[in-house]
Amino acid sequence: MNITLNTQPVSGGDLIIPVVQTDTLADQLSSLAPKLGLAESVLQRDFKADAKETLVLYSPEGTKTYLLGLGADPKEMDWLRTFRKLFFEQKSKLPEQLGIDLTAVDGSLIEAVVLGVRGGGYDLKLYQTDKPDGPVFFSETGALTLYVTTEQEVVAQEALTRAEAIAQTQRQMLDLMNAPANYKNPETLAEWAAASGEQYEYDVTVLDYAELEKQGLGALLSVSQGSDEPPVLIIAEYKPEGIDDLMTVGLVGKGVTFDTGGISIKTSNNMHLMKSDMGGAAAVLGTLEVAAKLQLPIHLVGIVPSTENSIDGRSTKPGDVITSYIGKTIEIIDTDAEGRVILADGLGYMVRNFQPDVLIDLATLTGSVIATLGYHAAGMFTQNDTLAEDLTKAANQTGEQLWRLPLWDDYREDIKSDVADVKNFSGKPIAGAISAAKFLEVFTEKHPAWAHLDIAGMAFADTEFGSQKNATGFGIRLLIAYLRALIANNR
């Protein structure tokens, strides 16, 4: 499906008109009524512009007009979700060609609109063999025209370009996250990264098992011991040529492609969802690709330690002591607290080899953060107030919400080990997300601008795409918004 902008007056054909529920709603509907061939009283009676409300009107010529309600004071995420719901639910009924009247919409919101439209075409039925032909609108011959004013055109074109770059990458990340373990392993992520780097011209290096042993990434290796699938460390580096004095931002993402819990095995109820335990990796890999597509003027390094956490006679056992990349020893109390263990090597490798100005890690790390924040926000941990403020601004803009939680030294006792430098689990039924963050802090080597994002409740969630939890692509839009603001503020 091709999307184009048009600054000419809205022409015939099927059309979507988004309507915000404002104090001037009655006036808006009064001006629309004659264009739609309706009495003003009928339109005001039947359409209130409530959030996600849709009124479909038919003309004598057979064309359709969709009035789409956005509710009162809609934010960027509201626009995205409203359009995604409409296009997902109506996709089999949509014509080959369709228009959206955005002439009364802020041009910056066009990114959200396009992402919603593209998202509405997502198909979760990745492995079904009896799928019908896809909707004609989302086929190669489908066409969407976005009607904008000449004053909107420049901003709208930038937003469209950005949205298309994000949407295509995000779809691939959804497919990877939704793929089961027999279709996805650490090598799968490495192959994706290598192919992306080649296509969009950024460097990708993959450390295999032998190289991990040689360089001493003992924490990552310890988690992989119970699996037949060898671990990898993916290092992706994007650095545009010809630009001096670039800031370096390091991103580290947890890439556990399946998590049984190891010896500390999980219950069977939701273990099938543990194919999602590479949500941090998806955010990091996706952000690297989008940054390269958009040619952002920033030096970006992404590191993904990737492994399965499986179980057999070779598995790391509770009580074992392992040695991390930076030399710190870790007592393994709970083998199901494996994400922080592999991140220890990812963070250590980043700090020792790239010395980034800003360091951010993302991980589907703890159930504790879900108990704290539910499925509405990710937990953010940082000692740096400026970084916290900048990430919060980006989160508020995109709607991928963050909530800052404490990282006080009072919690250091929770990771104190009797036999090693630190232990990977406090053993307490409280403050689990905080003690996990304190553990990770050790391996940042006191980096002054580090933030940890625990995205366990946000990377896999209930959506319109399926009856079970599925991937959301959380983090890519957030990080791109953060990077764009960082670039703007440092020019």
CB 298, CB 356: distance < 8 Å: no
Tokens 């589907």 locate to 364
277 known member of a binding site: yes
**What's the rounded Cα separation, in Å, for the pair 170 and 280?**
13
CB 63, CB 71: distance < 8 Å: no
CB 476, CB 287: distance < 8 Å: yes
SS3 content of the chain, % helix, strand, coil (to 5): 40, 20, 40
338 known member of a binding site: yes
Residues paired with 216 in a beta bridge: none
336 known member of a binding site: yes
62 torsion bin: left (phi>0), alpha (psi -120 to 50), beta (else): left
Helix/strand/coil (H, E, C) string of 169-200?
HHHHHHHHHHCCCCCCCHHHHHHHHHHHHHHH
Angle between helices 476-489 and 279-294 (to 10 degrees): 50
**What's the rounded Cα separation, in Å, for the pair 80 and 163?**
11
**What's the rounded Cα separation, in Å, for the pair 442 and 208?**
25
**What's the rounded Cα separation, in Å, for the pair 225 and 20?**
55
14 known member of a binding site: no
Among 293, 340, 438, 477, the active-site one is 340
Decide: helix, strand or coil at residue 403.
strand
Among 171, 266, 412, 484, the active-site one is 266
* Long-range contacts from 482-490, C-beta under 8 angstroms, 24+ separation: 482/390, 482/391, 482/394, 483/249, 483/287, 483/291, 483/296, 483/298, 483/300, 484/296, 485/390, 485/393, 485/394, 486/247, 486/249, 486/298, 486/358, 486/390, 487/247, 487/296, 487/297, 487/298, 490/247
Residues paired with 99 in a beta bridge: 15, 145
**What's the rounded Cα separation, in Å, for the pair 211 and 132?**
46
Q: Is 340 a catalytic residue?
A: yes
- The order of strands in the sheet holding 54-58 is 2-6, 143-147, 97-101, 15-19, 64-69, 54-58
390 known member of a binding site: no
Binding residues for Mn(2+): 254, 259, 277, 336, 338
Query: What residues are annotated to the active site?
Result: 266, 340
